[in-house]
Amino acid sequence: MRSVAEYLEWAAEFDELAASANVEVLRKRYADIAACYRLLAKAREWLISTGAIEGEQRALDR
């Protein structure tokens, strides 16, 4: 399972790809993928905050 930080890193990477793409279709697609990774990060943060899943730190402490 990925961590919130990993999802945000991937989002940043796809944001960079979107900014550097010369083709509008690719720019849009990369931006959409970045938005999906930010959504995954937000959902994981919410699940951790509700206690539905363990946070990264608690999982590492085992």
DSSP assigned state of 51: T
Output 46-51 pairs: Cβ under 8 A, ≥24 positions apart.
48/4
Please tell me the predicted confidence (pLDDT) of residue 62. 44
**How open is the CA angle 26-31-34, to the nearest 5 degrees?**
125
**Closest Cα partner for 44 from 25, 24, 59?**
59
pLDDT in tens, 24-57: 999 999 999 999 999 999 999 999 999 999 887 6
47 CB-contact burial (10 Å; exposed 0-12 / middle 13-18 / buried 19+)? middle
Please tell me the predicted confidence (pLDDT) of residue 56. 72
Please tell me the predicted confidence (pLDDT) of residue 2. 87
